[in-house]
Amino acid sequence: LGTRPKLADLADVALRGRQVRLVPAARGRIVAARKLLLDRAGEAGPVYGVNTGFGELASRRIAAADLGRLQVNLVRSHAAGVGEPLSPEASLAMLFLRANELAYGHSGCRPELVEALAALVNAGVAPVIPSRGSVGASGDLAPQAHAGLLLLGEGKARIRGPKGFGKPVSGAAALGLVRLKPCRLEAKEGLCLVNGTQAMQAVGGLALYRAMLASEAADAAGAM
């Protein structure tokens, strides 16, 4: 995590259970960005999404004691998707891509948040994410929020086993089965989880990968 993954890397993680880890250089970037964020938030002025509300509530200041609760409420309020769930492979791809994005060190989250996402990927715990509700290029807010619920021990998830993914269980049960604990969100970290386009990247990336395999198979069949 913290590098530029290729399409083959995405497929290996989502389809074949390849393990991921946070590289030391990326950890250093995350720590530095987190310090900068906290220093700025400690000043008198507002920092959007950190000590203020979101959207039309940007002018509403949030007390220091409520910064973590603000982030949890953001994730819960945006987990409003509908429709058939994404495939568990696409959900794992989302977790991987979001963790890698945060590992670049531009978002201001703690390294613990990135490692929590990586732990879910490595344990094969795929959040159940409704396929409808994204606002597109403005952000996959609803799908990302459903993925974020799993970190809180909420929502639902499926776990990859020797014969594929099992039936959906509660987020709390899924974490317990793989011996992981719910993550406690701190300042800005809910925003870090939901504000991205990793749902469309995951679905589109895996679709492209499968299309390339089909094309190669067609070429081979035609040549034979």
* Residues labelled as active-site residues: 48
Structure tokens at 215: 């094309």
d(CA 183, CA 125): 15
For the chain, the helix, strand and coil percentages under 3-state DSSP, each to the nearest 5 = 55, 10, 35
d(CA 218, CA 61): 59
What dihedral angle (degrees, nearest 10) is formed by the CA atoms of 108, 73, 115, 96?
Answer: -90
> Tokens 């002025």 identify what position?
45
d(CA 146, CA 70): 16
Q: Considering only CA atoms, which of 208, 203, 209, 210 is closest in space to residue 91? A: 203
- Decide: residue 166, CB within 10 A, 0-12 exposed, 13-18 middle, 19+ buried: middle
